[in-house]
Chain A
Amino acid sequence: MADAPLLTVAKVRKTFRQKLRWSERKLGDDYKNVFAVDDVSFALERGETLGIIGESGCGKSTTARILVGLVRPDSGSIIFQGKEILGNRASDVAAYRKEVQIVFQDPYEYLNPRMRLKDIICEPLVINGNIQDNRKTAIAEELLDHVGLNPPNEYLNRFTHELSGGQRQRVAIARALALRPKLLIADEPTSMLDVSVRAGILNLLRSLILEHRMSMIFITHDIATAGYMCDRIAVMYKGRIIEIGKRDEVINTPQHPYTKALVQVCDNLQGFISEREHYILDGEVDSFEQGGHCCFAPGCVCRDGECHCQDQGSQELIEVSPEHFVACAHCH
């Protein structure tokens, strides 16, 4: 890992404006700002899997959508293989798009119900203009086989409604692999699936990553899954990364009170529920209105509920041990 990172994300921000309901409106102000992604920075090495965990609405999907170009961030920079892709060079962006693919959360939504699997899987190649019609079957069979749909020729001409959720997700993975990307983003790829098929999908992703030497950004809300899949873990809260570090360090020695709460939920759910007030206060978990201080302050239990981060204006992460960064300076 001596060379430059595959991907460097720096100070990326995206604020959505949401229209307020009538009852919530103040004079002259019909909108509220949602800081979906707020000053997110991280780097990803080649071959590495980075987990992004956090609760619903913390901006995980928005981060993923920014990375695949579905959402344009308000500011920040994304450097992929040394090239800035938020600049305006269309050719750079087109090249980037081929290298970065995504597997979405909902396999029922993201595959066109009118298309046969063969066409779905070959579509990336058709769009990018490097496939002959007579090669389609062979390529689709190879990819189907690759993602564990056997025997492939049984599946080629099916429609998605003839598949189970897990099978659909495998098709989505096959499609993402068709262009041989360098970076795969998986946005909660198993959260819509039955528990019984989850392990299969996770193992498939892991083996594909190893086999193709891809990097992966793996998004989940489950710290156990992240622990299984990832080399490093970033914890997001209200649009910010509040802790990032090696998997073992984050899980074994969490620094931020929010991470501690997450780990405790996973380790010992009983204990967490009975002693909830030791870990987290019930605060609003929308990414609205924030001051410069710690975004976790309303929910923070450190120092007997009196958070000393209030006066912490800095948003820089603090390095507590090598490559282990945390946002909150007072809480450990």
Chain B
Amino acid sequence: MKTTNNVFRLFLKGKAGVVGLVILSAFILVAVFAPLISPYPPYERVGTPFEQPSIKHLLGTNDIGQDILSEIIYGTRISLLIGILSAGVSLVIGTIVGMTAGYLGGKVDAVLMRAVDLNLVIPMLPLMILLAAFLGPSFWNIVLVIGILSWASPARVIRSQVLTIKNKGYVEAVEVLGAKPFYTIVKHILPPTMSIIISQLILMSSRAILTEASLSFLGLGDPTQKSWGIILYYAQARSAFLTDAWLWWILPPGILITILVISFAYIGNTLEEIVNPRLRRNVGK
């Protein structure tokens, strides 16, 4: 039996996962302690527009004189939060769909899995752009748009795990005792699926952060809650690409997005290799 403890020990032996965890922890610390770390309030005009980096403003100021470093530090909060929340939404939907399809099987399964296939072959970004534009820019709209359109791949992974567990004798034994499907799912199928749900949550977070950045870069983000993507959008809109300003206005958030996404992916992949038997290599043997 694979206990949580066990998963944790195996995880520590996979180097990529540990690296990811360290980086992610650093980001989380920055996000939590943003008010303490950032030199200025991010939404106040604390300098003249378009200042170059200096001791006062390490990454210069933007077009209306806000401190870019402070924007980026606070942006960590928004980017992380949107990423994790949208992944949460997609996992809630994905778990319900995957559990239902896997447990009920038959026609329900066939229909739901066709929906999953459809969801996986349609390029999602254009659809998200449309939907986000239609709903209007707000924090929660972005979370919902990303969450609602990316449940398919977790649903599929969860379904296959449910199929494995459903055929175990002990699930059958509970049916004989007269258990209702809801009871069986919650008590006997959900617990051994939990580790897969968590690894999917982390993988989906990494994707969601990237998607959020893309949507925001296109101007669909919430300008009152500046994420890294929105910083990039303004930089782009104010022609930072055409001047030296790209060095301190565009490069830093771009690099941070990349690092954050990679750290999530490292953690998620390592976890998934441990908990998804079909992917298990010799992690930590």
A69 and B179 within 8 A (CB): no
Chain A 93-106 per-residue mask, 1 if CB under 8 angstroms from chain B, else 0: 01001100110101
A127 and B173 within 8 A (CB): no
Q: Known: A114-B1, A161-B1. Contact between A97 and B178, CB under 8 A?
A: yes
Q: Which residues of B contact A104 (CB under 8 A)?
A: 169, 173
Instruction: Kindly state whether residue B117 has any CB partner on chain A within 8 Å.
Output: no
A109 and B174 within 8 A (CB): no
A113 to B192, CA, bound (A): 10
Chain B 180-192 per-residue mask, 1 if CB under 8 angstroms from chain A, else 0: 1001000010011
Contact of A113 among B1, B173, B183 (CB under 8 A): B1
Q: Known: A110-B169, A110-B170, A112-B170. Contact between A68 and B1, CB under 8 A?
A: no
Q: Which residues of B contact A69 (CB under 8 A)?
A: 175-176
A113 to B165, CA, bound (A): 12
A128 to B180, CA, bound (A): 10
Instruction: Kindly state whether residue A123 has any CB partner on chain B within 8 Å.
Output: yes
Q: Which residues of A contact B176 (CB under 8 A)?
A: 68-70, 97, 101-102
Which residue of chain A lies nearest to B168 when distances are taken between CB atoms in the complex? A109
B178 and A111 within 8 A (CB): no
B169 and A109 within 8 A (CB): yes
Instruction: Kindly state whether residue B177 has any CB partner on chain A within 8 Å.
Output: yes
Q: Known: A104-B169, A106-B169, A109-B169. Contact between A123 and B177, CB under 8 A?
A: yes
Q: Known: A70-B172, A110-B169. Contact between A128 and B178, CB under 8 A?
A: yes
B177 and A97 within 8 A (CB): yes
Instruction: Kindly state whether residue A124 has any CB partner on chain B within 8 Å.
Output: yes
Chain B 77-118 per-residue mask, 1 if CB under 8 angstroms from chain A, else 0: 000000000000000000000000000000000000000000
B175 and A111 within 8 A (CB): no
Which residue of chain A lies nearest to B169 when distances are taken between CB atoms in the complex? A109
Q: Which residues of A contact B178 (CB under 8 A)?
A: 94, 97-98, 124, 127-128
Q: Known: A70-B175, A94-B178, A97-B176. Contact between A127 and B183, CB under 8 A?
A: yes
Which residue of chain A lies nearest to B177 when distances are taken between CB atoms in the complex? A124
A159 to B175, CA, bound (A): 21
Residues in A243-269 with C-beta less than 8 Å from chain B? none
Residues in A215-274 with C-beta less than 8 Å from chain B? none
Q: Which residues of B contact A109 (CB under 8 A)?
A: 168-170
Contact of B170 among A94, A111, A127 (CB under 8 A): A111
A301 to B170, CA, bound (A): 43
Which residue of chain B lies nearest to A179 when distances are taken between CB atoms in the complex? B177
Q: Which residues of A contact B (CB under 8 A)?
A: 68-70, 94, 97-98, 101-102, 104, 106, 109-114, 123-124, 127-128, 159, 161, 172, 175, 179
4 closest A-B pairs by CB: A109-B169, A110-B169, A112-B170, A97-B178
A-B contact pairs, 18 of them (CB 8 A): A69-B175, A70-B175, A70-B176, A97-B176, A97-B177, A101-B176, A104-B173, A110-B172, A111-B170, A113-B170, A114-B1, A123-B174, A124-B177, A127-B178, A127-B180, A128-B178, A172-B173, A175-B177
